[in-house]
């Protein structure tokens, strides 16, 4: 099965784009801001088919001064470019792609219509199959001993059938090859096209000279098998990324928007902006992330939290794009456009999973770069060698054609990306998003696991337990401060909803790992850690703040006002997850900014011997760096703003979807469900993906070690070569699809630090008794 540069409809796309490409204004409007200096644009490039295409486009775009980074996704044929508006116009990117020979237009993230490429392939296969069957019938008559005049007539009829067939069905390969040659490159379709054209030309020469042998049946049947291989390749690639398509189908085409004058208008989902009011009926999917303004209903939120039970929402509830409104009408306010929604973020993560220059991917890319010149040299040497040995240029050319076809390294080119796509789909089915295909390789290499406590091992939804003993005034101040922080304790206090507003409060500032502060009438109020909120150690001792449970301290100008005590509960399957990690012989530790008593109590329940408490963000990152210096490859699992430096420092990292934006952006994996079993599931799938990639490499290398010498020695005809080449790619893809059969990992018996078995059910009971 061949891979190539621009093909199929790419040449027509290129001409249309040259005539009327998107303007700078349109490109700028379609791009999205990443920060004050960088923007990202996404382009659909139909001509991308293989590793050579990826390397050509990425190298060409990354050479532009305005481009910070360019990345190609093979399955979606999407090019993501991060660029600086200060250094150039976005049309330069499109012009560069055209100069490289690739048509480009803006990528449609919600496109789920007809698969035009598959339609073209199926029509081409049908034409080639019909023609090859008819030419084969004529060839049988010739082989049966037809007279010279009849033989010549049948050969000319075969030529008349072959010419339009090659022109129509072969255009997929020919356009790709011509485009590459026109831009001074060789790609994987050049030898394929050369082999088909040589077989036809040799047959036409024989026919014109009344030769006994013609190979029209070989050239057309060869094309037929090559098209079958490419069609199967396309179908299986689409099957591998079915999870992404499933996500796209969860996004509605549009919604009814309530205008300021009370009128209603149906707008496409891409036209919905933040602040618009949307009317939803029962059975509608949520088009964008939004807040409920009016109404009460039940939502199917399984996409977000993995729970099958409906979730009740009412005024003030925040809902996510892609969830399903089940029971009642709602009026909602859009919080962000569709391109920045929770659903769009998941689709971006899924598509980016195929990218990433892991070690395996770099090997495949280097092989693709070497392919084109090497295969032509081998074919030429085969032709010359057989011509010297046999003196028959017909047979020598026949051998060279077989070598050109059979040496296609498509199986090697598919070995890595197809496994990454299938693995990303498998992870998504378990509620796990991966940002980069290389992250799976790093997760498989991890040999130590470090957990944050609050919001990671626990759900991060603490409950205030001593509210009755705190004055209403102090509760009001704490609630005001809590509204301006993402910390779970702050959010629990913010939920108290003080009746009075925030009059007089200002200069809110959150200190990662410490707390939140604000001023009111010249008084500095702080809510957070005791050693930060109260600078006086003697006062800390006087107030007896060394408490067992989780706590936050409220102070005014460093003077103690109140201590808020909380209880939290562990994530689902926390005990069994720790047990499973121990069966994998991975050392586990906890590193938390919480108080020593709370961390020690949790570590004891879970049987974790190594833990650190009262750790600041920079200390977490330093501890990860220390483990790395000892040769450890650390998996860091954390959720908060204070975990971001450690997540970045770790060899690989995970965060729950409930994490702060900075934490999610820093993590390599994001798990959507409440269960902590996502850690072991992701590692299990990553290990299996690594094994499948190595198996694919072995299959591809074994194929070339057997097939290439067979073709050179004359044991493989062009037809056999076409079948072998297509089969090798199909086998690699089918091997990757085995990952879809992988089941959920089953926790085994684990041992604690003393070597005794851990009873996970007993651990769960202990957690419940302890208030987790």
Q: Would you mind telling me the total number of residues written for the chain in this entry? A: 772
Q: Give the list of residues 6+ apart from residue 19 with CB closer than 8 angstroms, or none.
A: none
- As annotated, the active-site residues are 452
Question: What gap in Å lies between CA 236 and CA 418, rounded to an integer?
Answer: 9
Q: Give the list of residues 6+ apart from residue 246 with CB closer than 8 angstroms, or none.
A: none
Q: Give the list of residues 6+ apart from residue 258 with CB closer than 8 angstroms, or none.
A: 264, 276, 277, 278, 279, 331
H helix or E strand, kind and range, residue 506:
strand 505-511
Give the CA count within 13 Å in the CB-facing half-sphere of 663.
24
Give how far Cα 687 sits from Cα of 344, 424, 440, 449, 636, Å: 28, 13, 8, 16, 17
Question: What gap in Å lies between CA 480 and CA 25, rounded to an integer?
Answer: 43
* Two tokens, residue 421: 């796509």
DSSP secondary-structure letter at 109? T
SS (H, E, C) 570-624: ECCCHHHHHHHHHHCCCCEEEECCCCHHHHHHHHHHHCCCEEECCCCHHHHHHHH
Give how far Cα 58 sits from Cα of 104, 392, 434, Å: 14, 45, 22
Asked if 659 contacts 671 with a C-beta cutoff of 8 angstroms, the reply is: no
Question: What gap in Å lies between CA 237 and CA 172, rounded to an integer?
Answer: 18
Q: Please list the residues that pair with 291 across neighbouring strands.
A: 318, 333
* Two tokens, residue 769: 């008794």
Give how far Cα 122 sits from Cα of 3, 231, 436, Å: 17, 7, 33
Asked if 350 contacts 424 with a C-beta cutoff of 8 angstroms, the reply is: yes
Q: Which of 698, 576, 740 is nearest to 241 (CA)?
A: 740
C-alpha angle 567-299-669 in degrees, rounded to nearest 5: 60
Q: Map tokens 């005539």 to a residue.
A: 19
Asked if 675 contacts 571 with a C-beta cutoff of 8 angstroms, the reply is: yes
Q: Give the list of residues 6+ apart from residue 424 with CB closer than 8 angstroms, or none.
A: 243, 350, 353, 354, 434, 437
* Two tokens, residue 278: 């949307």
DSSP codes of every residue in 401-418: HHHHHHT--HHHHHTTHH
Question: Based on C-alpha coordinates, what's the Rg of the chain?
Answer: 32
* C-beta atoms surrounding 668 within 10 Å: 25
The dihedral over CA atoms of 539, 540, 542, 543, expressed in degrees to the nearest 10, equals 120
Asked if 81 contacts 67 with a C-beta cutoff of 8 angstroms, the reply is: yes
């Amino acid at each position: 099965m061949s891979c190539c540069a621009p093909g199929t409809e790419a040449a027509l796309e290129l001409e249309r784009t040259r005539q009327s490409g998107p303007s700078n204004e349109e490109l700028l409007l379609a791009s999205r801001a990443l920060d004050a200096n960088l923007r990202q644009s996404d382009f659909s490039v139909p001509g991308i088919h293989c590793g050579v295409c990826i390397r050509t486009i990425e190298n060409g775009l990354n050479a532009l001064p305005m481009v910070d980074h360019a990345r190609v996704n093979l399955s979606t044929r999407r090019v993501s470019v991060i660029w600086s508006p200060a250094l150039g116009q976005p049309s330069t990117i499109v012009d560069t792609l055209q100069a490289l020979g690739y048509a480009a237009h803006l990528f449609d993230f919600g496109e789920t219509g007809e698969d035009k490429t598959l339609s073209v392939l199926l029509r081409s296969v049908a034409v080639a199959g019909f023609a090859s069957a008819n030419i084969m019938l004529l060839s049988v008559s010739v082989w049966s001993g037809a007279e010279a005049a009849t033989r010549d007539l049948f050969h000319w009829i075969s030529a008349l059938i072959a010419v339009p067939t090659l022109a129509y069905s072969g255009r997929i390969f020919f356009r790709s090859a011509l485009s590459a040659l026109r831009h001074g490159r060789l790609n994987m379709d050049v030898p394929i096209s050369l082999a088909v054209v040589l077989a036809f030309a040799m047959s036409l020469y024989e026919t014109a000279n009344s030769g006994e042998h013609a190979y029209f049946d070989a050239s057309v049947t060869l094309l037929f098998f090559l098209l079958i291989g490419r069609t199967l390749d396309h179908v299986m690639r689409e099957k591998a990324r079915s999870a992404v398509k499933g996500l796209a189908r969860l996004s509605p085409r549009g919604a009814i928007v309530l205008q300021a004058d009370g009128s209603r208008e149906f707008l496409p989902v891409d036209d919905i902006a933040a602040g618009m009011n949307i009317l939803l009926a029962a059975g509608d999917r949520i088009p964008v992330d939004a807040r409920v303004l009016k109404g009460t209903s039940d939502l199917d939120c399984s996409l977000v939290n993995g729970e099958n039970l409906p979730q009740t929402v009412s005024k003030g509830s925040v809902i996510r794009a892609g969830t399903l409104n089940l029971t009642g009408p709602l009026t909602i306010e859009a919080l962000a456009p569709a391109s920045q929604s929770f659903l769009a973020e998941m689709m971006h993560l899924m598509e980016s999973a195929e990218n990433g220059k892991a070690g395996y991917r770099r090997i495949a890319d280097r092989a693709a770069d070497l392919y084109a010149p090497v295969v032509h040299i081998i074919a030429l040497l085969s032709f010359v060698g057989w011509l010297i040995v046999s003196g028959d240029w017909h047979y020598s050319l026949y051998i060279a054609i077989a070598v050109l076809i059979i040496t296609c390294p498509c199986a090697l080119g598919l070995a890595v990306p197809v496994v990454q796509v299938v693995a990303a789909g498998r992870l998504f089915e378990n509620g796990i998003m991966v940002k980069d295909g290389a992250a799976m390789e790093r997760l498989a290499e991890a040999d130590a696991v470090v957990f944050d406590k609050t919001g990671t091992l626990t759900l991060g939804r603490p409950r205030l337990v001593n509210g009755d003993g705190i004055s209403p005034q102090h509760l009001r101040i704490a609630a005001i401060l809590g509204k301006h922080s993402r910390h779970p304790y702050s959010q629990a206090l913010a939920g108290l909803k003080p009746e009075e507003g925030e009059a007089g409060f200002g200069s809110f500032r959150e200190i990662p790992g410490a707390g939140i502060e604000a001023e009111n009438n010249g008084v500095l109020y702080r809510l957070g850690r005791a050693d930060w909120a109260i600078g006086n150690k003697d006062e800390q001792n006087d107030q007896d703040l060394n408490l067992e449970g989780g706590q936050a301290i409220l102070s005014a100008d460093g003077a103690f006002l109140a201590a808020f005590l909380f209880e939290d509960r562990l994530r689902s399957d926390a005990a069994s997850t720790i047990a499973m990690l121990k069966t994998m012989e991975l050392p586990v530790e906890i590193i938390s900014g919480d108080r020593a008593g709370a961390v020690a109590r949790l570590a004891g329940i879970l049987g974790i011997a190594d833990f650190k408490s009262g750790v600041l963000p920079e200390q977490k990152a330093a501890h990860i760096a220390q483990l790395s210096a000892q040769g450890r490859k650390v998996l860091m699992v954390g959720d908060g703003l204070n975990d971001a430096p450690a997540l970045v420092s770790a060899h690989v990292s995970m965060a729950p979807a409930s994490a702060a934006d900075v934490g999610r952006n820093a993590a390599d994996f994001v798990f959507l469900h409440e269960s902590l079993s996502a850690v072991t599931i992701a590692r299990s799938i990553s290990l299996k993906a690594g094994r499948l990639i190595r198996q694919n490499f072995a299959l591809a290398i074994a194929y070339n070690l057997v097939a290439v010498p067979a073709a050179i020695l004359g044991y493989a005809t062009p037809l056999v070569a076409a079948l072998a080449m297509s089969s090798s790619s199909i086998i690699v893809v089918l091997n990757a699809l085995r990952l879809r059969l992988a089941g959920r990992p089953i926790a085994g018996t684990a041992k604690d630090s003393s070597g005794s078995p851990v009873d996970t059910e007993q651990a769960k009971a202990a957690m419940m008794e302890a208030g987790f």
